[in-house]
């Protein structure tokens, strides 16, 4: 792809004056300036974007260091890219030529567990799965779980308002955030929210910063909501002879008021890719598979799984199997989490992220098939069907020169189809750098203008992640 992921680079003189100023003002901050070190921060998971090479990568250890870095960057008009683990799928953390990337990976501590208020205060660099494990050891549950949970950071989850496999029941990341500490574009530090379950004092700034992809402020601390640890999950797989039948099962479960903790879909191509890699014995003749899980206590789980099974049978499921035990269930869930990596073994993958109101999943699946056929593109689809959020993946031979052109044409049709169904062009990965030009088609120019005004009120110099989102 040739989408530029950032603004023009600052002049060479501005860059060297900035580096000198950082050295003077913040001699203790760890700063990578060697080109080999910086190269690792050029891309996130969107290698198809033409991302820039950062002038420097800072690895701060405290909020004060982040604030100092932003203050000097503002003085010198140097663009700043906040970065977590760099697993983003929209180019939000990709480098900007001549910019400063601030990677929050060293700020990875759990600062306080507040059991009485069921919340935990963390730094942004902690990896999602590490936080989950630490809370589980205390009998507590931090719900948000993107499929990348073993490799992505809480800061990145907050930056993207990450989704995942249990949003259908527990919501996206935003639903689990009570308060934030944020470094603003002039280097000042504010706090939003707190530990209150209910809080309507003024505008909902916590919600505004979550999902803003590092364009409005840098999150340096977060107070996150916890829940009691649910029981181990009961897991069921249902196979279908058509994608539409699987979509129909999803619509039936929604209409029946079922809220399983997981309701994931994989199409035939994804089933084969995952099974090739992990030899799980999945039904490779099926056109689609649903993974349905319950985390209710025993009797409730049995009833929920039974009702989901009935909905699948009514939709024409060809077979239904239940995981024999928790280990088998973990293994199946892990295989689903690795669906993208399984497809990447077959070629270059361009992953999309459209969403529709849940009852329209069958229409979206039909539209995806038609678009792939029309453009002659190989497509494998999986995703969070229970949220109406699907990930069509366009797959190409690694040296296919037509990949860029075909993907661009297919994804324009895909976004149009999602919007025609009342959906969204991105449900959890974000606009970032890769979908910017399509934002007005979804929200309208008037709404984009309001977003621009918010951006310029909070970042008048436009130094925070310029060229992303807007
Ligand atoms: C195999 C695979 C599976 C995935 N599955 C899912 C999934 O199920 N659901 C999902 O939602 N995503 C998924 N993703 C995408 C990605 O993992 C998420 O978007 C994740 O939230 C990014 O976290 P990160 O730490 O890597 O952030 P990065 O990629 O480093 O950054 C993401 C964005 O957040 C901003 N940001 C980072 N830290 C901060 C901060 N401290 N303050 C302000 N802004 C910040 C960045 O500027 C950037 O815009 C998947 C990715 C992969 C590779």
pLDDT digits (tens, 9 = 90+) for 296-341: 998 999 999 999 999 999 999 999 999 888 888 888 888 788 899 9
Query: Residue 58 pairs with which residues in a beta bridge?
Result: 31, 102
Domain 234-420 = CATH 3.90.1150.10: no
- What are the domain boundaries of the chain? 12-105, 110-228, 234-420
Find out whether the beta carbon of 156 lies less than 6 Å from any atom of ligand 1.
yes
Distance 103 CA to ligand 1 centre (A): 13
Task: Provide the CA 405 distance to its chain's centre, in angstroms.
Answer: 25
CA-based nearest residue to 272, from 263, 259, 264, 282: 282
Strands 319-322 and 234-240: antiparallel
Find out whether the beta carbon of 91 lies less than 6 Å from any atom of ligand 1.
no
Burial bucket for residue 345 (CB in 10 Å: 0-12, 13-18, 19+): exposed
Nearest-angstrom CA–CA distance, 123 and 102: 14
**% of the chain residues with pLDDT over 90:** 89
Nearest-angstrom CA–CA distance, 95 and 106: 19
Q: What is the DSSP string of 360-423?
A: GHHHHHHHHHHHHHHHT-EEEEEEEGGGTEEEEEEEE-TT-TTHHHHHHHHHHHHHHHHHHTT-
Per CATH, 12-105 and 110-228 having the same topology is answered no
Find out whether the beta carbon of 391 lies less than 6 Å from any atom of ligand 1.
no
Query: Residue 81 pairs with which residues in a beta bridge?
Result: 101
Q: Record the pTM.
A: 0.96
The pLDDT value recorded for residue 2 is: 45
The pLDDT value recorded for residue 3 is: 52
Find out whether the beta carbon of 86 lies less than 6 Å from any atom of ligand 1.
yes
CA-based nearest residue to 90, from 184, 5, 208, 199: 5
Distance 162 CA to ligand 1 centre (A): 7
Instruction: Tell which one of 155, 165, 168, 274 to mutate to probe ligand 1, the residue whose CB is within 8 A of the most ligand atoms.
Output: 155
Residue nearest atom 31 in ligand 1 by C-alpha distance = 156
Per-block mean pLDDT, blocks of 10 residues, the chain (470 long): 66 95 97 97 91 97 98 97 98 97 98 98 98 98 96 98 96 98 98 96 97 98 98 94 93 94 96 92 94 95 96 97 87 86 93 95 94 95 96 90 87 97 98 96 98 98 97
- Name the maximum alpha-carbon separation found in the chain: 70
What number does the ligand 1 atom closest to the CA of 82 have? 47
The CATH number of the structural domain formed by 12-105 is 3.30.43.10
Distance 20 CA to ligand 1 centre (A): 31
Find out whether the beta carbon of 92 lies less than 6 Å from any atom of ligand 1.
yes
Instruction: Tell which one of 42, 58, 89 to mutate to probe ligand 1, the residue whose CB is within 8 A of the most ligand atoms.
Output: 89
Handedness of CA 193, 197, 203, 209 (dihedral sign): positive
Find out whether the beta carbon of 353 lies less than 6 Å from any atom of ligand 1.
no
The pLDDT value recorded for residue 5 is: 55
pLDDT digits (tens, 9 = 90+) for 338-395: 899 999 999 999 999 999 999 899 999 999 999 999 999 999 999 999 999 999 999 9
Provide the 8-state DSSP code for 441. H
Half-sphere exposure of 468 (CA within 13 A, CB side): 31
Tokens linked to 412: 């324009």
Find out whether the beta carbon of 339 lies less than 6 Å from any atom of ligand 1.
no
Cα dist. 42→50, 235, 321 in Å?
9, 39, 44
CA-based nearest residue to 74, from 469, 466, 452: 466
Instruction: Tell which one of 160, 391, 428 to mutate to probe ligand 1, the residue whose CB is within 8 A of the most ligand atoms.
Output: 160
CA-based nearest residue to 393, from 352, 425, 358: 352
Q: At what angle do helices 243-255 and 298-314 cross, to 10 degrees?
A: 130
Fold designation for 110-228: 3.30.465
Distance 364 CA to ligand 1 centre (A): 25
């Amino acid at each position: 792809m040739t989408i530029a992921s950032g603004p023009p680079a600052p002049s060479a003189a501005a860059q060297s004056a900035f580096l000198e100023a950082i050295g003077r003002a913040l001699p203790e901050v760890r700063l990578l300036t060697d080109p080999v070190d910086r190269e690792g921060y050029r891309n996130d998971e969107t290698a198809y974007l033409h991302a820039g090479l950062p002038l420097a990568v800072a690895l701060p250890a405290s909020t004060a260091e982040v604030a100092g870095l932003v203050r000097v960057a503002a003085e010198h008009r140097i663009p700043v890219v906040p970065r977590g683990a760099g697993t983003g799928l929209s180019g939000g953390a990709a480098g900007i030529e001549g910019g400063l990337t601030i990677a929050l990976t060293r700020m990875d501590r759990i600062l306080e567990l507040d059991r009485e208020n069921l919340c935990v205060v963390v730094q942004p660099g902690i990896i999602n799965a590490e936080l989950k494990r630490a809370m589980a050891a205390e009998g507590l549950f931090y719900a948000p779980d993107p499929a990348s949970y073993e490799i992505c950071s809480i800061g990145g989850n907050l930056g993207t308002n990450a989704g995942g496999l249990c949003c259908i029941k527990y919501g996206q990341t935003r639903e689990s955030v009570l308060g934030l500490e944020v470094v603003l574009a002039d280097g000042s530090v504010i706090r939003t929210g707190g530990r209150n379950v209910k809080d309507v004092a003024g505008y909902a700034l916590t919600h505004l910063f979550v999902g803003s992809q590092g364009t409005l402020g840098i999150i340096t601390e977060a107070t996150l909501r916890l829940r009691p640890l649910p029981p181990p999950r009961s897991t069921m797989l249902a196979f279908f002879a058509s994608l539409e039948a699987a979509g129909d099962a999803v619509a039936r479960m929604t209409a029946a008021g079922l809220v399983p903790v997981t309701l994931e879909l994989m199409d035939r191509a994804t089933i084969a890719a995952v099974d090739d890699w992990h030899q799980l014995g999945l039904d490779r003749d099926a056109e689609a598979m649903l993974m349905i899980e319950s985390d209710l206590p025993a009797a409730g789980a049995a009833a929920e799984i039974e009702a989901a099974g009935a909905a699948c049978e009514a939709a024409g499921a060809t077979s239904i199997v239940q995981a024999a035990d928790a280990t088998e269930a973990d293994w199946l869930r892990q295989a689903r989490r690795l669906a993208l990596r399984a497809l990447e073994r077959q070629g270059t993958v361009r992953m999309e992220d459209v969403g529709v109101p849940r009852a329209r999943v069958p229409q979206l699946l039909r539209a995806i098939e038609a678009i792939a056929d029309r453009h002659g593109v190989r497509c494998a689809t999986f995703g969070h069907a229970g949220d109406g959020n699907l990930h069509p993946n366009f797959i190409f031979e690694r040296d296919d020169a037509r990949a860029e052109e075909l993907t661009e044409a297919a994804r324009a049709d895909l976004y149009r189809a999602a919007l025609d169904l009342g959906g969204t062009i991105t449900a959890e990965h974000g606009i970032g750098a890769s979908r910017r030009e399509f934002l007005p088609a979804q929200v309208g120019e008037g709404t984009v203008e309001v977003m621009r005004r918010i951006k310029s009120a909070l970042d008048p110099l436009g130094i925070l992640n310029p060229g992303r989102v807007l």
